[in-house]
Chain A
Amino acid sequence: MSLSNRYEFVFLFDVTDGNPNGDPDVGNAPRIDPETGHGLVTDVCLKRKVRDYVTLLKGDEPPYSIYVKQKEVLNQLNELAYKAFDIKPEKKKLPKNVDEAKRLTQWMCQNFYDIRTFGQVMTTEVNCGEVYGPVQMKFSRSIDPITDIEHTITRMAVTNEKDMEKGQTMGRKHTIPYALYRCHGYVVASNAEKSGFDESDLELFFTALENLFEHDRSATRGEMSVCGLYVFKHSSPLGNAPAKKLFNTIQVKPVAQDTFPRQFNDYQVTVDQSAVPEGVELIIRYEEA
């Protein structure tokens, strides 16, 4: 059980004529850093996709059930069968009992993949009700500033009878012509031990990242794909080098200065293997040619 190595990862993905993550503050336009114009994708946006992928692959069965669900997934399942737990919960309703709280938390971790991975606030009234998951992700940021294009679209139908004469309604959608995003993530071995996240869970997580957009197609997203997944494996659970140093070994730069990038080939990813410190192994899980 649990992990004996610390990990960091760099995850690259791109979008073509789509909106990777809408901002509810500005009418669902792509998230943008107002000062630099770079595009942003929140950590929770990618975590949602990991959850959805795991459900698709593992069918929402323990130990891969997903706690935080989307309704669409709901229709596929009714009642989950839980495996019997060897310790019987106490009859007394004493939620302050620390042992019981631990058992509840442990049991949830065993059954639910997303709780094991990302953590969850379990209860308010018990002490041990919080799980810190080992996987931590930062906001993703585009390599270059993005251009958000707002399109007005029409629908040849109306919703209400009173609009019948109009014959059509107008709508809006936002797209980015092209953007390459970079995400940094951490896998904290000490948290893995507590939540029971093990090597096979980690493998599943990386598999989910590799396939993150293959099953997340929609009218909004346009064409999104994974461009790279670089995993740094430390030889010790505490780690062997600062995360920043590792992230810096992977540089992403536009090939030409004065053109507008419109495809992944307009960028060059350089991996400086020689700068990877001793005790750290760089595993290239996925790299777009």
Chain B
Amino acid sequence: MTFCIEVSGEFACFTRPEMRVERVSYDVITPSAARNIYQAILWKPQMAWHIDRIEVLNPIRWMSIRRNEVGSVVSAENVRRAMRRGQGRLQMFVEDERQQRSSLVLRDVSYRIHAHFSLTEKAGSTDNAEKYLGMFLRRARKGQVFKQPYLGCREFAADIELIEPGHELSSSIDETRDLGWMFYDFDYSANPPSPRFFNARMEGGVINIPMAESDEVQG
């Protein structure tokens, strides 16, 4: 069974990996970000979400935001030392670590995301697709989420709505565009996880997403 949700938000940033210092978003949501939205509603190690199709409902528009950001992460060694001694200086001074970064983000986005899930090898004898299907629908109908879903960055929270089968759908944008090589998702079976890409093409506002195992998805 496939599921369909509509996600929308005021802003979105699906950062291109090659432009992640001064973030520039992809034109549309990536399969990876779409998967995360489904996972925000329901996910168990026994199941894996696959994104089938993304429909773009709003014109692709942009906006630039520049913010003061912090350029460093917590040092594990300093934490270890402070724990050992019972004292120490553990803090980060924003003035010293300040980076002004601009982000080129999408605005007023709305997508219809079609997906299905499969059971993984972690699924035991008591797990079956029916069970998770029911759980997902119950949660999605009530607006329940395990985590607040977001559009690429956590400050861009997403509104989601389950689209029931047979529901009348608004049409996607009438635009055909070659989106070029786009981030697909990480292959988490590799250590460290390795990024995978695919050649994305939007036909009349619709992007068909290949299966992860297909030849169209390359590392």
Contact yes or no, B92 A238, CB < 8 A: no
Min CB–CB distance B67 → chain A (angstroms): 6
Contact residues, B16-54 vs A (CB, 8 A):
none
Q: A203 interface residue, CB < 8 Å from B? A: no
- Answer whether A129 and B89 are a contact pair too, CB < 8 Å, given A25-B102, A136-B157, A238-B145: no
Residues of A within 8 A of B167 (CB): none
Within 8 A of A (CB), among B81-96: 82-95
Q: Kindly state whether residue A262 has any CB partner on chain B within 8 Å.
A: no
Contact of A104 among B80, B88, B89 (CB under 8 A): B80
A191 partner, pick from B11, B102, B147, beta carbons under 8 A: B147
A70 to B101, CA, bound (A): 19
User: Inside 8 A of B79's CB, which chain A residues have their CB?
Assistant: 104, 107-108, 122
User: Given A24-B68, A80-B89, is A42 in contact with B144 using a C-beta cutoff of 8 Å?
Assistant: no
Is A186 interfacial (CB 8 A cutoff)? Answer: yes
Q: Contact: A43 with B145, CB < 8 Å?
A: no
B169 at the interface (CB under 8 A from A): no
B121 is an interface residue with CB less than 8 A from chain A:
no
Query: In the complex the two chains form, is A239's CB within 8 Å of B156's CB?
Result: no
Q: Which residues of B contact A25 (CB under 8 A)?
A: 64, 66, 102
Q: Interface residues of A toward B: which range?
A: 35 or more
Residue of B nearest to A279 (CB): B142
B1 interface hit (Cβ, 8 Å): no
- A124 interface residue (CB < 8 Å to B): yes
The answer to whether A66 has its CB under 8 Å from any CB of chain B is yes
Known: A42-B67, A67-B92. A129 touches B74 (CB 8 A): yes
Beta-carbon nearest neighbor of B79 in chain A:
A104
Give A145 to B63 CA distance when docked, in angstroms. 17
Query: For A124, what are the chain B residues with a Cβ–Cβ distance below 8 Å?
Result: 73
> Are A241 and B142 within 8 A (Cβ)?
yes
Q: Tell me if B87 and A239 are in contact (CB < 8 A).
A: no
Interface check A139, CB cutoff 8 A: yes
In the assembled complex, which residues on chain B have CB atoms less than 8 Å from the CB atom of A82?
Answer: 82-83, 85-88
**C-alpha spacing A167/B144, complex, angstroms:** 65
Does A74 have its Cβ within 8 Å of any Cβ on chain B? yes
Q: How far is the CA of A238 from the CA of B161 in the complex (A)?
A: 16
**Residues of B155-190 contacting chain A, CB below 8 A:** 155-157, 159-161
Distance in angstroms between the alpha carbons of A240 and B143 in the assembled complex = 7
Is the Cβ of B89 less than 8 Å from the Cβ of A84? Answer: no
Interface string of A179-195 (1 = CB under 8 A from B): 00000101010110000
Residue B217, interface by CB 8 Å: no
Among residues of A, the one whose C-beta sits closest to the C-beta of B154 is A136
* 20 extra interface residue pairs, beta carbon distance < 8 Å, beyond A44-B67, A240-B142: A6-B145, A24-B67, A25-B66, A33-B63, A44-B155, A68-B70, A69-B91, A71-B95, A89-B83, A107-B83, A108-B74, A122-B76, A122-B79, A132-B147, A136-B155, A138-B10, A188-B147, A240-B143, A241-B142, A245-B143
